[in-house]
Protein backbone atom coordinates (compact mmCIF):
# COMPACT_ATOMS: atom_id res chain seq x y z
CA UNK A 1 0.00 0.00 0.00
CA UNK A 2 1.41 3.37 -0.88
CA UNK A 3 0.31 6.60 0.69
CA UNK A 4 0.35 10.01 -0.90
CA UNK A 5 3.22 11.92 0.54
CA UNK A 6 1.21 15.13 0.77
CA UNK A 7 -2.31 15.52 2.11
CA UNK A 8 -4.93 18.24 2.57
CA UNK A 9 -5.74 19.82 5.93
CA UNK A 10 -8.88 17.66 6.05
CA UNK A 11 -6.91 14.45 5.48
CA UNK A 12 -4.29 15.47 8.04
CA UNK A 13 -7.02 16.21 10.57
CA UNK A 14 -8.40 12.70 10.06
CA UNK A 15 -4.94 11.16 10.47
CA UNK A 16 -4.20 13.12 13.65
CA UNK A 17 -7.70 12.79 15.10
CA UNK A 18 -8.23 16.52 15.43
CA UNK A 19 -10.51 18.99 13.67
CA UNK A 20 -9.61 20.61 10.40
CA UNK A 21 -9.89 23.96 12.18
CA UNK A 22 -7.25 22.83 14.71
CA UNK A 23 -4.91 21.88 11.85
CA UNK A 24 -5.39 25.39 10.46
CA UNK A 25 -4.72 26.94 13.89
CA UNK A 26 -1.54 24.93 14.34
CA UNK A 27 -0.47 26.04 10.86
CA UNK A 28 -1.08 29.71 11.65
CA UNK A 29 0.89 29.26 14.91
CA UNK A 30 3.81 27.93 12.83
CA UNK A 31 3.68 24.44 14.32
CA UNK A 32 2.53 22.66 11.17
CA UNK A 33 3.91 23.60 7.75
CA UNK A 34 2.24 23.37 4.38
CA UNK A 35 3.77 23.61 0.94
CA UNK A 36 2.94 26.01 -1.89
CA UNK A 37 0.08 23.75 -2.97
CA UNK A 38 -1.55 24.08 0.47
CA UNK A 39 -0.67 20.45 1.29
CA UNK A 40 1.01 18.91 4.33
CA UNK A 41 3.78 16.35 4.11
CA UNK A 42 2.55 13.38 6.14
CA UNK A 43 5.63 12.15 8.03
CA UNK A 44 7.01 15.51 9.22
CA UNK A 45 3.51 16.73 10.09
CA UNK A 46 2.76 13.71 12.27
CA UNK A 47 6.17 13.90 13.95
CA UNK A 48 5.86 17.63 14.58
CA UNK A 49 2.34 17.28 15.95
CA UNK A 50 3.30 14.59 18.44
CA UNK A 51 6.38 16.55 19.57
CA UNK A 52 4.11 19.56 20.09
CA UNK A 53 1.60 17.48 22.06
CA UNK A 54 4.37 15.94 24.20
CA UNK A 55 5.91 19.33 24.99
CA UNK A 56 2.53 20.93 25.65
CA UNK A 57 1.46 18.14 28.02
CA UNK A 58 4.82 18.31 29.80
CA UNK A 59 4.36 22.04 30.40
CA UNK A 60 0.81 21.52 31.65
CA UNK A 61 1.92 18.69 33.94
CA UNK A 62 4.77 20.78 35.35
CA UNK A 63 2.43 23.72 35.95
CA UNK A 64 -0.08 21.48 37.71
CA UNK A 65 2.68 19.89 39.75
CA UNK A 66 3.99 23.28 40.85
CA UNK A 67 0.52 24.57 41.70
CA UNK A 68 -0.21 21.55 43.90
CA UNK A 69 3.06 22.04 45.77
CA UNK A 70 2.27 25.70 46.40
CA UNK A 71 -1.09 24.97 48.04
CA UNK A 72 -1.20 25.17 51.81
Does 1 reside within a domain?
no
Distances (CA, A) of 64 to 25, 53, 54: 25, 16, 15
Q: What is the pLDDT of residues 1-58, one digit of tens each?
A: 455 699 999 999 999 999 999 999 999 999 999 999 999 999 999 999 999 999 887 6
Does 38 reside within a domain?
yes
Phi, psi torsion values for 37, nearest 5 degrees:
-90, 15
Range of the domain at 29: 6-70
**Distance of alpha carbon 58 from alpha carbon 47, whole angstroms:** 17
Q: Indicate the number of domains in the chain.
A: 1
Does 20 reside within a domain?
yes
**Distance of alpha carbon 28 from alpha carbon 65, whole angstroms:** 30
Name the residue with higher pLDDT: 72 or 59: 59
**Distance of alpha carbon 21 from alpha carbon 26, whole angstroms:** 9
* Predicted pLDDT of residue 41: 96
Name the residue with higher pLDDT: 54 or 72: 54
* Predicted pLDDT of residue 57: 72
Does 53 reside within a domain?
yes
* Predicted pLDDT of residue 60: 52
Amino acid sequence: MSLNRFVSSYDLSQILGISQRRVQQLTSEGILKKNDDEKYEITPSISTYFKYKYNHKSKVYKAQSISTRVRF
